[in-house]
Structure 1
Amino acid sequence: MAALGESIGIDERTVLVLGQELDVGRGQPDVGNALVHRAGETLVLVDTGVTEAFRAALREAADRVGPWSRVLVLTTHGHPDHVGNNDLADELAEEYGVPAEHCVPAPDLDQMRDPDAYWVRAFERVEGMAPLPDPAVAGPALVSLFRPYRPFAAVTRTYEERPPERIRIGSSRFTGWTFADGAVRVLRTHGHCAGHVIVHLRDCGVLHLSDEGNGACGAMADADQLKIQTALGAVARLFEEGEAALLTDGHTFALRRGAEAAVPFLDGLLDQAAALQSAVLGVLGVTGGSGGSGGSGPVVPGEFTARFAQAFAATGGGGANPNALFLAMMAVNQLRELGLRPESAAPGAPWSRPPLQLGD
């Protein structure tokens, strides 16, 4: 198990700083991995994690990849484990007397401003599906682990304030933004949550997937399963064509070098996603009574979640911070993906597929 803040040198100007897993019982926040890279004279920080210890590790890595004369902090998405030290952009600018820039995804601004509300909503969706205290208490309690929480700097702007670019890498086409004379490419994916981006470092060939690879099924209320899978397929193509050489992500404490390591990992996630949805159809045939593979009868959420957990384990599913709560969040997303909806707003209400409204 990696220690918080441990660094893996990729080359003389690129370092992956490792985070840690969530342990609510010990009051330990999860911390997303961060990349520290020098592109010419620009220091690039891709995510800043959280905790003072991780902040110190980022500063050590910044010294290690120097010298640099400007600072660029890029946020991949707005979850607390990736943004807590974002004010480091201001600190480095002031201390070294250099210009600094910090960019965040506009769709994630609301959750960054009010993470309590974001997580309360996430937990409200699974009432009756997993053991959980009052979401109004559980949401703020989780967020309280992430300290200090400084998601904005004086220099913070949204990516979307810059003109969008069409970015071609090999045969793949993306939309996003480039920095440092094209050496840093921010690619819009929007799968793991509403504003998610991934980052390609042209000169060293690193592709930072951040949390798009967190498992076979997105857990958050603003996750989009199709976008996750599309991003995974697009990244696999970059490796197959030699346009990317090394895969990093937000919560796997390892490097995947070359297509021979990266592509099987990405294909494995896609295979798990397909297998999981197939398994869910079978589960609905059981929990939905006479519904067969489509499950037309009501689904009891608690029963479905238990069976979903078994199906998830059978597919080899993993992802960041696997636990009963996140499994329930994924189960909700799978039900919605298949067109089912709760029959009432009451916690634990049955789910079913609304009847089709056929014309005369």
Structure 2
Amino acid sequence: MTPDETAGGLMAALGDLIRIDDRTVLVRGQELDLGHDQPDVANALVHRAGDLLVLVDTGVTEAFRTALREAAEGLGPWSRVLVLTTHGHADHIGNNDLADELGGTAEHYVPALDLDQMRDPVSYWVRSFERIAGVAPLPPPPVLAGKLVSLFEPMRPFGATTRTYEERPPERIRIGSIRFTGWTFADGAVRVLRSQGHCAGHVIVHLRDPGVLHLSDEGNGPCGAMADADQLKIQTTLGAVARLFEEGEAALLTDGHTFAVRRGAEAVSHLDGLLEQATALQAAALRLAGEGAGADGRVRPSAFAARYAEVTAELGVGGANPNPMFAAMMAVNQLRELGLRPESGEADAPWSRPAPDHPAPPGPPAPPEA
């Protein structure tokens, strides 16, 4: 199956191998389906740079592990293995210990800022769901977090060779006219670029020789859903990546969840579309917050989230794994992006805009001394 055929919408399934060139394969994941106890599985890239086998993310499930092995065997021979984790969410890290089983000298790197959630994913998701308690009709946060994390089995996020990227000296990386910071491997053939938008530790990966830019989850939609998402960093990353395609420094765009390989102008159009959706959605959110606010300017997040979901549908805004859970998380993030803050930690507590602290007006001048 070719990249163009995949982008054109042919039916594909978990673990399908989408050949990009004779040294690069995209391994297809799947969508989240909580109703049927199906975990989402992120796409992974398998690439050979000389004698180095590179895996960008490892998904989850035994079926996906088998597909990764098949992809690796089809790209041999190699004598070294490098596994790069783009971020610590469970759908990207379940088979990370494969680094130690493929043979040869192995290295595995993960973002330091995501170590806590990799060690204790339930606590990470409890914190995420506590923000939407009462906003959407969902089970209590500990129950929902436990159910969600239980889908991602077996979970092997660490291996004998796991280290953090941050243990390596940071590098200034220039690609075309764009400057990044990050780390390079294989004499610059593999570039790990810090982005940190989708979650705190997120990185994206550029494979120089095939011209692949793997966005992972930075392109999951126009508004990040996670509690540690940074909307500005998401949008800055999308803009920088679009520029790389315009300059011919990247040729193929892949990501974690859309199951497509986009070329050149199509990639730019896709990225511009996400940025246009982000601005349109924030403008709509500002209007909704004004319409839904009481006379005191307070906004009830549950009411805002319901209207926000309607507006996203009207605007045709998509994203990875659309469902009420992520829609509510996006709505809460959008309120914060507008500058509103919750007035308390209670479920569905009203949000309001903090008043600026203006200095007290000066008093009357003191009478002149006699």
Structure 1 residue 257 displacement after superposition: 1.1
Secondary structure of the residue that 1:213 maps to in structure 2?
A: coil
Report the Cα distance in structure 2 between the residues aligned to 1:112 and 1:152, rounded to whole angstroms. 9
Matches for 1:70-81 after TM superposition, within 5 Å:
70-81=80-91
Per the TM alignment, residue 355 of structure 1 is displaced from its structure 2 partner at its CA by 2.1
Partner of residue 110 from structure 1, selected from 116, 120, 145: 116
Relative to the length of structure 2, the TM-score reads 0.93
Deviation per residue, 1:61-95 (Å, 9 max, x gap): 00111111100000000000000000001111xxx
* Alpha-carbon offset, residue 315 of structure 1: 2.2
Q: Distance in 1 between matches of 2:250 and 2:129?
A: 37
Q: CA deviation at 1:272?
A: 0.2
| Cα separation, 2, equivalents of 1:85 and 1:243 | 31
Name the residue aligned to 2:200.
194
**Which amino acid in 1 is paired with 2:348?**
G
Residue pairs, 1:262-301, within 5 angstroms: 262-290=267-295, 297-301=297-301
Alignment of 1:198-213 (within 5 A): 198-213=204-219
Structure 2 residues without counterparts, runs of 5 or longer: 1-10, 361-370
Q: Work out the CA distance in 1 between the residues paired with 2:243 and 2:62.
A: 37
Query: Where do residues 110-149 of structure 1 align in structure 2 (5 Å cutoff)?
Result: 110-149=116-155
Question: Does structure 2 conserve the Cα–Cα contact (< 8 Å) formed by 1:208 and 1:249?
Answer: yes
Conservation of the 8 A alpha-carbon contact between 1:187 and 1:198? yes
Displacement, 1:317? 1.0
Matched, 1:161 2:161: no
1:10 matched to which residue of 2?
20
Q: Distance in 2 between matches of 1:346 and 1:168?
A: 47
Q: Flag the structure with larger Rg.
A: 2
| Separation (CA, whole Å) in 1 of partners of 2:293 and 2:141 | 27
SS of 2:101 mapped into structure 1: helix
Partner of 2:43: 33
1:198 CA displacement: 0.3
Aligned to 1:293: none
Aligned to 1:255: 261
Residue identity in the other structure for 1:268:
G
Asked if 1:324 is matched to 2:324, the reply is yes
Residue in 2 that maps onto 1:219? 225
Q: In the alignment, does 2:64 pair up with 1:58?
A: no
User: Equivalent residue of 1:198, what SS?
Assistant: strand
Q: Which residue of 2 aligns with 1:43?
A: 53
Contact kept? 1:21, 1:30, Cα under 8 Å: yes
> CA–CA distance in 1 between the matches of 2:186 and 2:43?
22
- The Cα offsets for residues 247-283 of structure 1, whole Å up to 9 and x where unpaired, read as 000001111012x110000000000000000000110
Partner residue, 2:335: 335
Shift of 1:359: 1.1
- Return the offset for 1:314: 2.1
Q: For residues 265 and 246 of structure 1, what CA distance do their matches in structure 2 show? A: 12
Is the contact between residue 287 and residue 303 of structure 1 (CA under 8 Å) also seen in structure 2? yes
Query: Displacement, 1:35?
Result: 0.1
For 2:185 and 2:317, the matched residues in 1 are separated by 35
Alignment-derived partner of residue 158 in structure 2: 152
**Equivalent position of 2:348 in the other structure:** 348
Alpha-carbon deviations, 1:176-218, whole Å to 9, x = none? 0000111000000000000000000001100000000000000
Residues 2, 20 of structure 1: 8 Å contact kept: no
For structure 1, which segment, 204-213 or 349-358, has the greater mean C-alpha deviation from structure 2 after superposition? 349-358
Structure 2: how far apart are the matches of 1:41 and 1:91? 16
Task: Give the % identical residues.
Answer: 75
Q: What CA distance in whole angstroms lies between the structure 2 residues aligned with 1:163 and 1:152? A: 22
Letter aligned with residue 75 of structure 1: T
User: Letter of the aligned partner of 2:280 in structure 1?
Assistant: A
The 8 Å contact of residues 46 and 75 in structure 1, kept in 2 or not, is answered as yes
- Partners of 2:238 and 2:315 in 1: how far apart? 18
1:90 aligns with: 100
The whole-number CA distance in structure 1 between the counterparts of 2:118 and 2:59 is: 13
Amino acid at match of 1:17: V
Q: Counterparts of 1:174-189 in structure 2 under 5 Å?
A: 174-189=180-195
SS in 2 for 1:150: coil
Contact in 2 for aligned 1:7/1:61 (Cα 8 Å): yes
Describe the superposition over 1:286-342 as per-residue Cα deviations: whole angstroms up to 9, x where unpaired.
10135xxxxx61111111001111121222211110011101000111111111111
Q: What residue identity is the alignment partner of 1:318?
A: G
**Matching residue of 2:243:** 237
Which residue type is aligned with residue 289 of structure 1? G
SS at match of 1:210: coil
C-alpha distance in structure 1 between counterparts of 2:309 and 2:21, whole Å: 40
Q: Which moved more, 1:12-21 or 1:127-136?
A: 127-136
